[in-house]
Amino acid sequence: MPKLGVTAIYFVLQNIRPCLHRAALIILISSIIVTLGNLADGVLASWASFFLVLLYAVFAVSWHRYSLIPGERNLKGFAVRLGMREVKYGLFALFASLLLVFIGIFLAASLPEEIALVLTAIVMLFPVCILAFFYPAIALDQPIRLGLFLTKAVEYSFSIVLAFLFWLLISGGLIGATAAISLIIGSILSSIVGGVIMALGLSVVFSVTLAVWISTVTFLYYNVIGLREYQETA
C-alpha cells in the first residue's frame, strides 16, 4: 500500500495538467465559497461545507475514472460531468462525513477528553479502510460488495492506515505552508488579498492532494478487488 501511495504521487505529478484541468472549475467555485463562508455566519458556513463535499465529489469521480480507465483520459473539452454517478458519490460522501462527525461528537461527549481524543482517532481509522473500497466502487460503476469490502478492509487495514497517515502528513504540510505564505502576503499587501490567495491556494493544494489519495485507493481497489466491465458513458 505505501508503494501504491508513492505510485499515486508520481501518477498525479505526471498528469498534473489534466488533474488541474478537471479541478479548475471546482477550485474556482470552492475558493469563492470558502471566501464567502469566512464572512458568513455559522449556518451559512455549514451549508457551504455540505456543498463543498458535493462539489468535490464531481472532481473525485472524474479522477477515479481517469486513474484507471484509459478512455477517460481522451475526453475532450470539459472533462468533469454531473450525473447519477456523481450524485450517488456525493450523497454517500456527505453521509459518511456526517456519520464520522457524529461518532466523534458522541465519543467526545461520553468520555474524558484525553481518552476521547485517542479513541476517536483509532475508531475513525477503520471507516477510512472501508471507505477506501466504497468510493472507487461507486465511481467506477462496480457492485457494492459489503462483505468483501469489510474482509479486505480488515486484511489491508495496516497498509491503508499507514498510507492514509502518510497522505495526511504530506497534505497537512502543504496546506500549512500554503496558509503561512498567504498570511505573509496578506500582512504585506492586505488581509483581503491574503484571504483570497489563501482560499485559492488551499483549493489548489486540496485538489491535488485529494487526487493523490483518490489514485491511491483506486489502484488499491483494482489490485485487491479487480475491475468488472465498466461503463464508458455517464
b/e string for 118-142 if b means 16 or more Cβ within 10 A?
ebbeeeeeeebbbbbbbbbbbbbbb
Helix (H, G, I), strand (E, B), or coil: what is residue 126?
A: helix
Q: What is the distance between the alpha carbons of residues 217 and 209, in angstroms, rounded to a whole number?
A: 13
In the chain, how many H helices and how many E strands? 8, 0
pLDDT digits (tens, 9 = 90+) for 76-132: 656 667 788 899 998 988 888 888 788 778 777 777 766 767 777 777 788 888 889
Average confidence (pLDDT) over 191-212: 83
Q: What is the distance between the alpha carbons of residues 79 and 100, in angstroms, rounded to a whole number?
A: 31
20, 8 contact by CB (below 8 A): no
DSSP secondary structure code for residue 74 in this structure: G
The pLDDT confidence band at residue 166, using thresholds 50, 70 and 90, is confident
